[in-house]
Amino acid sequence: MKYTTLPNTDIKVSKICLGSMTWGNQNTEAEGHEQLDYAFDNGVNFIDTAELYPVPATAETQGRTSEIIGNWLKNTGKRDKVVLASKIAGPGDYTAHIRTSGFKGDSIKEALDLELKRLQTDYIDLYQLHWPERTTNTFGVRDYNHNEKERWEDNFKTVLESLDKEVKNGRIRHVGISNEKAWGTMRYLQESEKNDLPRPITIQNAYSLINRAFEGDMAEISIRENIGLLVYSPMAFGVLSGKYINNTALESSRLKLFPRFARYSSEQCTEATKHYLKLAKENEISLAQMSLAFVNNKEFVTSNIIGATSKIQLKENIDSINLDLNNDILSKIDEIHKNIPNPSN
């Protein structure tokens, strides 16, 4: 395994982070624990969850993923050996079963109370805002269209103040943001510096061979402001394994079970994936490992969050840390990207 540190801290984290959003839905608790054991034994010390998980989000399953992790932490006694990240859900119809207040009032305190209980721990190393409260172009939306009728009011300062209380209480070590855009990121930094409030150290956004939108303004912010990217969906919901193109996907695979998650299934995404699959075959490597290795070695990436529903997938994903893509492969990847840029956005 390779390691880095969370920006502006001395906390060492594995370059591969274990994602967990299938546990409690596609995966049983026993399978989740098996993944945790295997990942930990292979050098992964970074675990990411959220109060929302598992996904798809429902009132019946909400919080189950963190409970699975909490039971593993209790059973193994490994809390002090792992770095634990979680998130508070943003507002919207998708999360109305959790709360409707977003990050306002006592929402952060109350969300943290419940998440600490589920995780069976006294503190979370990295607590993240899952997505913005305001309306912006997240989750695969290409362009920003301003809504003059939006009722959201700028509350970056008050959100950081709520987080600051939890940092001072020792229940959060550091804070991060997720699914954020350039403007929101800089507003958090501005309020943090101006008011001596917690500074976001990471941003968790989607990034992959077929979604390189982060390489625009966000990459510059990440590097110049030292906010590390925690990459989610590096495999684009499994599309970048090639299994959907090769018709080898099991009926239990994510897009077979939940076809509405079609962000990476457009005609353009499929065409781009075919080119990446051909390139991987020409170099006798798997498309999955090529996709993950591409992400692993980007300078703005702090950690790459992998997700798997089987131990075979998990092993392949973790082993990607040992693959370094040569300049010829990287050049050909860029050529495909130039011809079919960001097809998922």
Q: Work out the average pLDDT over 57-62.
A: 96
CA neighbor of 313 nearest in space, from 65, 22, 114: 22
pLDDT at 252: 65
Sign of CA dihedral 154, 158, 163, 168: positive
Q: What is the pLDDT of residues 179-188, one digit of tens each?
A: 999 999 999 9
Q: How far apart are CA 123 and CA 277, in angstroms?
A: 42
In a domain, 253, yes or no: no
Q: ∠ CA(337), CA(339), CA(342), 5° rounding?
A: 45
Domain that holds residue 321: 3-238+291-325
What is the tally of structural domains in the chain? 1
Does the residue 221 lie in any domain?
yes
pLDDT (tens digit per residue) in 34-57: 999 999 999 999 999 999 999 999
Q: Kindly state whether residue 303 falls inside one of the protein's structural domains.
A: yes
- In this predicted structure, the answer to whether residue 251 has a pLDDT above a threshold of 90 is no
Residue 14 falls in which region: left (phi positive, over 0), alpha (psi -120 to 50) or beta: beta
Whether residue 262 is contained in a domain is answered as: no
In this prediction, residues 121-147 reach a mean pLDDT of: 92
C-alpha dihedral, 243 to 249 to 254 to 259, nearest 10°: 90
What pLDDT score was predicted for residue 141? Answer: 85
In a domain, 247, yes or no: no
pLDDT of residue 257: 66
Q: Is residue 120 part of a domain?
A: yes
- What is the number of alpha carbons within 13 Å of residue 271 lying toward its C-beta? 11
**Whole-angstrom distance, CA of residue 168 vs CA of residue 161:** 11
| Separation CA 168–CA 318 (nearest Å) | 35
Parallel/antiparallel/unpaired status of strands 202-206 and 172-178: parallel
Report DSSP letters for 123-167, one per residue: -EEEEEE-S-SS--S-TT--S----TT------HHHHHHHHHHHH
Apex CA 187: angle with CA 182 and CA 188, to 5°?
Answer: 100
Does 50 reside within a domain? yes
> Residue 221 maps to which CATH number?
3.20.20.100
Active site residues: 53
pTM of the prediction? Answer: 0.95
User: Considering the domain boundaries, does residue 194 fall inside one?
Assistant: yes
